[in-house]
Chains A and B, each alone.
Chain A
Amino acid sequence: DGHLSLDGKTIGVAVVGTQHFWDREAFNGAVSTVEELGGTVVPVDGGRDNQVHADNHDILLSQGVDAVISILGDGAVEPKFEALSGAGIPVFTVDHQSPFGTNNTTSDNYYMGTTIGRYMADAIGGEGNVAVFNAFEGALRICGIRAGLWKYVLEDYPGITIIQPELAEEFANAPEDARIKTLDLLSQYPEGTLDAIHVGCWDQPAIGVVQALEEAGRTDVLVTALDGGPDTLEIMAEEGSPFVANVAQQPNLIGSTAAMNVARHFAGETLLPQTFVEVVPVLGQDGAKAAYEQLGYGTLD
């Protein structure tokens, strides 16, 4: 792809928030790649407010950027995308499929959901009680896909029961919040009545879940989650960690790919509606170590 260039182009990069590892890495990947390709970046951050995120697109419109990379967000952005493309500014989305976008760069969320479902079912031997942190299923489409397919897979295992009601994690201070909720859950489900805890759309809460399990001496309860950032891979790689399965994404690569797609677009290439960036299924301690290295986070001993 050496021929690609964004020389003289101004690219708006809008991200819904940057607190979470995934969001930030996708943002950084997009920004640095645009700059490497010789483009100028106008970055905007929604501070985790979908409406502010949407509003930010208006600012990009008024700045007269040549293209917009929009990372995450909910339906509030659609009219803004419509306005941008109406003004001849192509929109490249990340993890957000939109009729007004030129291209959506994303992980294969369907694959993530089914894979983690299978991994979890296998880990608990195909039967048992599982609890799930799942506050975002209804709020974000990608989370709906991941959690929905996880449940779809579990339908094949009549011996697995999803504990009701489902738990809700908080976005802010997620590990500590999940830790306390897990402790409460554990006192409700004594030894032998709970087999796994799954975090439906990401894995920050899993840090607190693992912590609670270790504190309560209940590491027989297994943990699964999605995203596979360096922090959680490190936990998985620990001896005897209850955190047994994950599907790692490559957010930096996703952001970077979106930026490349912008350049491809300007180079006259035709893009498919979606570009899928490879995900890395992670199973067990050794799997975590391998993934950590593979994804370029360094080595874990």
Chain B
Amino acid sequence: MTQPMSQRLLGVFPIIVFACLFAYLGVQSTTFLSLDTLELITKQAVPTVIVSLGLATVVIAGGDDVVAGGIDLSIPATAIICAAIIADQLTNQGASLPFAMILAFGAAAIIGAINAFLVVGLRMTPLLATLSMSVAIVGITKVITSSRRIGVTDETIVFIRDGTIFGIAASVVMTTVLVLVFYHALHRTRWGMNMQATGGSRDAAEISGILTRRFVVQSFLIAAFAGWIASVFVLARGSGSSPGTEENMLLEMVLATFLGAAFSPRRVVTLWGAVLGAVVVSALSVGFISIGVNVFWTGCIKGALILLVVASASVTTKGRS
């Protein structure tokens, strides 16, 4: 039952589109196709990659129906509140980084638990639960920071921002390790397969003896965990916490994760798809700048491209079923 060549090509069509685009950008700009640019692209994608790991986990465990299935829109807000807590502790309260991180972890755990309770306990639509949670978290963040920027000069944070490991940006190395850990857990272990089954078909999973509720709960906790981890990189990126960064991150996260589904031959949300999606979105931004596209037009081109890819993915999937 092997697929014919043409179908396999269709399966990777979205990847081909982007490969062509990047080749074009590379020809147009002398700097785009270089290792330095690649490092820059991945470095800038780091916070999005990490929150997308969280979202991908929730989607994998909850199913990819964005309204009724699994979605967690509160991850960026979680990252922002954790960043605010850490920045506040470090700069205003004079606490140590580990203590600040533990405090932030507590906050993230509470958020994850509330999300899980709302979705699993009360059976609230995840879209709704996490969207409203996001609003609440952003509000609480404002109380913590009084809507002010809090700068951070902690050594570790600065190392994550500027440091290198084996000559590669520290944040990229750390994120790569994190991605591998996530990938192994979700795609290469029994636990991960059960998580995937839970999202693939709740009924099927339950009948196979999988405790689906537990997995959905875990997915929200993991998402909050991803938000917590991301906060450190958010702090590093901004050398502190700046108000109002969650909105952009939210859009990029959703985009990256669901764009990733278009990259997957099975057309489902996967971890590596989400990571690739985040990197591609970041590469588009850098690429457009490097060939001097009018800044007012970049959003339009980005949006159109994404629609093109998602449409091609949807058309090719329909063609096979």
Q: Tell me which residues across on chain B come within 8 A of A62, comparing CB atoms.
A: 31, 36-37, 40
The interface bits of chain B over 236-264 (1 if a CB of A lies within 8 angstroms of the residue's CB, else 0) are 01111011110110000000000000000
B234 contacts the other chain (CB 8 A): yes
The interface bits of chain A over 194-231 (1 if a CB of B lies within 8 angstroms of the residue's CB, else 0) are 00000000000000000000000000000000000000
- Report yes or no: A50 in contact with B238, Cβ–Cβ below 8 A: yes
Q: Tell me which residues across on chain B come within 8 A of A55, comparing CB atoms.
A: 44, 237
Q: Tell me which residues across on chain B come within 8 A of A138, comparing CB atoms.
A: 146-148
B122 contacts the other chain (CB 8 A): no
CB interface residues, B 272-321, toward A, < 8 Å: 285-286, 289-290, 292, 294-296, 298
- Report yes or no: A75 in contact with B289, Cβ–Cβ below 8 A: no
Q: Could you tell me the distance between the alpha carbons of A190 and B234 in the complex, rounded to whole angstroms? A: 46
Q: Which chain A residue has the least Cβ–Cβ distance from B247?
A: A49
A48 contacts the other chain (CB 8 A): yes
Q: Which of B43, B158, B286, B294 has the most CB of A within 10 A?
A: B286
The interface bits of chain A over 161-196 (1 if a CB of B lies within 8 angstroms of the residue's CB, else 0) are 000000010010000000000000000000000000
Q: Could you tell me the distance between the alpha carbons of A168 and B243 in the complex, rounded to whole angstroms? A: 14
- Report yes or no: B289 in contact with A139, Cβ–Cβ below 8 A: no
CB distance from B3 to the nearest CB of A (A): 40
CB distance from B321 to the nearest CB of A (A): 38
- Cβ-neighbour of B244 out of A18, A44, A50 (below 8 A): A50
- Report yes or no: B147 in contact with A58, Cβ–Cβ below 8 A: no
B213 contacts the other chain (CB 8 A): no
Q: Which chain A residue has the least Cβ–Cβ distance from B44?
A: A55
The interface bits of chain A over 131-151 (1 if a CB of B lies within 8 angstroms of the residue's CB, else 0) are 000011011000000000000
A267 contacts the other chain (CB 8 A): no
B151 contacts the other chain (CB 8 A): yes
The size of the chain A interface, using a CB distance under 8 A, is 31
- Report yes or no: B242 in contact with A51, Cβ–Cβ below 8 A: yes
The interface bits of chain B over 64-87 (1 if a CB of A lies within 8 angstroms of the residue's CB, else 0) are 000000000000000000000000
A127 contacts the other chain (CB 8 A): no
A79 contacts the other chain (CB 8 A): yes
Q: Could you tell me the distance between the alpha carbons of A103 and B289 in the complex, rounded to whole angstroms? A: 25
- Report yes or no: A44 in contact with B239, Cβ–Cβ below 8 A: no
A238 contacts the other chain (CB 8 A): no
Q: Tell me which residues across on chain B come within 8 A of A75, comparing CB atoms.
A: 149, 151, 239-240, 242
Q: Which chain B residue has the least Cβ–Cβ distance from A79?
A: B239
Q: Could you tell me the distance between the alpha carbons of A139 and B162 in the complex, rounded to whole angstroms? A: 25
- Report yes or no: A59 in contact with B240, Cβ–Cβ below 8 A: no
Q: Could you tell me the distance between the alpha carbons of A171 and B15 in the complex, rounded to whole angstroms? A: 37
A26 contacts the other chain (CB 8 A): no
- Cβ-neighbour of A49 out of B44, B245, B290 (below 8 A): B245
Q: Which chain A residue has the least Cβ–Cβ distance from B248?
A: A49
Given contacts A51-B234, A63-B31, A138-B146, contact A76 B289 (CB under 8 A): no
Given contacts A47-B248, A76-B242, contact A139 B148 (CB under 8 A): yes
- Report yes or no: A42 in contact with B151, Cβ–Cβ below 8 A: no
CB interface residues, B 45-60, toward A, < 8 Å: none
Q: Could you tell me the distance between the alpha carbons of A64 and B289 in the complex, rounded to whole angstroms? A: 12
Q: Tell me which residues across on chain A come within 8 A of B242, comparing CB atoms.
A: 50-51, 74-76
- Report yes or no: B289 in contact with A58, Cβ–Cβ below 8 A: no
Given contacts A63-B31, A74-B149, contact A58 B243 (CB under 8 A): no
CB distance from B315 to the nearest CB of A (A): 31
A287 contacts the other chain (CB 8 A): no
- Report yes or no: B149 in contact with A49, Cβ–Cβ below 8 A: no
CB interface residues, A 38-93, toward B, < 8 Å: 41-45, 47-52, 54-56, 58-59, 62-64, 74-76, 78-79
Q: Tell me which residues across on chain B come within 8 A of A41, comparing CB atoms.
A: 292
Q: Which chain B residue has the least Cβ–Cβ distance from A56?
A: B289
Q: Could you tell me the distance between the alpha carbons of A42 and B298 in the complex, rounded to whole angstroms? A: 13
Q: Which A-B residue pairs are the 8 nearest by beta carbons?
A: A138-B148, A76-B238, A45-B295, A50-B242, A51-B238, A49-B248, A75-B151, A74-B149
Given A44-B289, A139-B148, 15 new contacts (CB under 8 A): A42-B292, A45-B295, A48-B244, A51-B238, A55-B44, A58-B40, A63-B290, A75-B151, A75-B239, A76-B237, A78-B151, A135-B147, A138-B147, A139-B149, A171-B244
> Chain B interface (Cβ within 8 Å of chain A)?
31, 36-37, 40, 43-44, 146-149, 151, 158, 161-162, 234, 237-240, 242-245, 247-248, 285-286, 289-290, 292, 294-296, 298
> Chain A interface (Cβ within 8 Å of chain B)?
18, 41-45, 47-52, 54-56, 58-59, 62-64, 74-76, 78-79, 135-136, 138-139, 168, 171
What would 6 A/B residue contacts be, using CB atoms closer than 8 Å? A51-B238, A54-B239, A59-B44, A63-B290, A139-B148, A139-B149
